[in-house]
Every structure is written in C-alpha cells, then in structure tokens.
Amino acid sequence: MTTKRIPPKLKSLINLLNDSLYHPGSWLGQQLGISRSAVWKYIHQLQQWGITLNVHKSKGYQLPQPIFLLDAQHIETELTTTSHPFQLEVLSHVNSTNDYLKSKIGTATNAIPFCLAEHQTAGRGRLGRTWISPFGTNLYLSCLWSFQQDLSELAGLSLVVGLAVIAALREQGLRDEIKIKWPNDILWQHKKLAGVLTEISAETYGYAQAIIGVGLNINMPVIPTPGINQDWTTVHAITGTIQDRNKLAALVIKQLLQMIPHFAQSGLKPFLATWRQHDALFDKVITLEHGNNQISGIGAGINTNGHLLLRHVDGTICSYSSGNTTIQK
Ligand code: BTN
C-alpha cells in the first residue's frame, strides 16, 4: 500500500492558485522559493491527479475552482468538545482508506483511529463497485471501531452510520430532501450524495472489529464522470457554495463519535424514529435484488435488526437482511 503526504510546497502552490486568477510560473516560483521547472512539475502532478488547471502561454496557470485541502489540526480544533478519544490521520493518497485501516487491526488503542485521504486510487463501494475518488474535492473517511458484541448484533451499524452522515449534513444546513435508501445510500432528490461501506470481522464470540468507510460528494464538479453510472450530486451543487471540507469532515466525525457508542450500548431502537423521518423507501413500490431473485413490495420501514421490511400483495410483511433496492417510478 502506498500512502503519501502532500509536500508543503505543493500545499503552498495550491493556496497561491486558490484566488482563481492566472499566475505566471516565474512568479509562483519566486513566491515558493523554487525554480520554474519545479513549479511545472507540481502543476503536472495536480493534472495527473485529475485536477482541472488552465494553462496559458503568457498568463501562466489558473485553478478555476479553489481546492481547500484537508488539515488535521483544523479538523481537530472543531472537535475539542468531543468526549470520545480519537486519533486522526490525513493522507494525500491511498488505495482505499478502509484498506489502510485494515492494516491497523490488532493495534489496540483506546482512541478510535480515523483516516481521511485527499485521493483514493482504488476506492471501493458496496457490492464490489468502485468509488470514484478524485483529489481534493470530496470526503473519503474511515474509522476502525472495536465492539464487545457478537457479529449478529452489529447488523444495524451501517444504517446508523448513514444517519450520522445525515445528521452532519443537517448541521451544515442541508435539511430538505435528504433521504436514506436502505441500507445506507444518502440521497438528495433521488441522486446519490454519500455512501457507506462497513466491513466487520469477528474472530471470537462477543468481540468484533468494524471498519467504517464514508464517501461524501462535496465539491466535485457535477459533470459526466467515467465510472459513475447513476444519478449523483454534491453538497456544492445543492447549496451553490464551495464547501469547507474540514468543517464537514469534523461534523461527520463528531456525529460518528456520538452515535456509534449509543448504538453499541442500546442497539438500533433509539434510531428508528429518525430512520422513519428520512426513509426514502417508506410507502414506495420497491424492487429488491436479493441473490438471483427480484422481490417486489411496498417499503414498510426497518426492524430493530436493521432488516428491510417489505409489504407484499397478500398483505404479509417480510424482512430482508441484504440486497440492492430500487424505487419503481
Ligand atoms: C457505496 O457503495 O455507496 C459505499 C461507498 C463508500 C466509499 C467510501 S470512501 C472511504 C472508504 N474507502 C473506500 O474505499 N470506500 C469507503
């Protein structure tokens, strides 16, 4: 696995270009105390990471949309009142933040390890899908959590994580039309805004470790993007304002640090009312892909295990523990 830190000169270059103006390479070099060719190398690096930069022969370089880099200190200062101990690592590049934390399993610590990356080279979604993860625009966050519980008691965990993301978005002012589609797709007007990938391992009865991954679309330009084949949106597109990713990262971490211990202690029951408020499937005609089967029914909420409830034509209500749901138009 390769993980890298962002070179301080590159950080400073991004800051200089964040005014959306053109700057000649010679001026940028002077400001940074590096040669023009070193400036060019950093520019080339940014382009390779998928950043759109305008290059003009005489005017120089322009960043059309500012990049607000993640900053561990900034995030931590927003979290000073959080009672649960945590440790935070911000990476420039990693294959997947979930995979990165897998390598930390077994390194016992009281503080919950959180990891954020500017860019994932092999971001993973649910059901074996790829999670497209361009540099410096979205949130790719994972944490590693130990539970003194049996695997079977953690079925609702990923649903609670979805509710934590919704709570964070609400704190940021996104209150309308944010829904959760079982098990944990966060949608705005039926478009995907965030997703959750939890991976749980249990070696002994009564003890389990979960890697919890959250991908939240924040400032990525909403343009057709290879690898994404569903309707999607971003916080920027919804609000019309470039978002402070550090603030959103802190809000998500804060909600996770509050809600996961509550879930570990009391299960899913205290969260059912909030689920109901945001349930995208409630009273909708649903198709559930479950193994090789396609099952239809009307969404009837979830049970305390976090299983989806569907009402069938004969009036029976059945619960389903896994699958992919589609709302019939
Ligand atoms: C989904 O398919 O909806 C789940 C997407 C989860 C993506 C996040 S980004 C951070 C973490 N690292 C990964 O590789 N995946 C999760």
192 Cα nearest atom in ligand 1: 3
Predicted confidence band of residue 205 (pLDDT cuts 50, 70, 90): confident
* Average pLDDT estimate for 87-99: 94
Q: How confident is the model at residue 202 (pLDDT cuts 50, 70, 90)?
A: confident
- Ligand 1: residue whose CA is nearest its atom 11: 213
Q: Which residue's alpha carbon is nearest to atom 10 within ligand 1?
A: 140
Q: Which residue has the higher pLDDT, 289 or 109?
A: 289
User: What is residue 312's predicted lDDT score, i.e. its pLDDT?
Assistant: 95
Residue with tokens 């079982």: 182
Distance of alpha carbon 211 from alpha carbon 214, whole angstroms: 10
Residue 50 above 80 pLDDT? no
Residue 139 Cα: closest atom of ligand 1: 9
Q: Could you tell me the pLDDT band of residue 256, with boundaries at 50, 70 and 90? A: very high
Q: What is the pLDDT averaged over residues 119-134?
A: 93
Given this model, what pLDDT does residue 41 score? 94
Confidence of residue 315 (pLDDT cuts 50, 70, 90): very high
**Ligand 1 within 6 A of CB of 197:** yes
Distance, CA of 319 to CA of 306 (rounded, Å) = 9
pLDDT at site 237: 95
Selected residue with higher pLDDT from 208 and 4: 208
pTM, two decimal places:
0.92
Q: How large is the average pLDDT for residues 194-221?
A: 91
pLDDT more than 90, % of the chain: 78
Q: Which of 127, 197, 211, 230 to mutate to test the pocket of ligand 1 (most atoms within 8 A of CB)?
A: 197
Structure token pair of residue 247: 């603030």
pLDDT at 4: 66
In the chain, what percentage of residues exceed pLDDT 70? 98
What is the Å distance from ligand 1's center to 197 Cα?
5
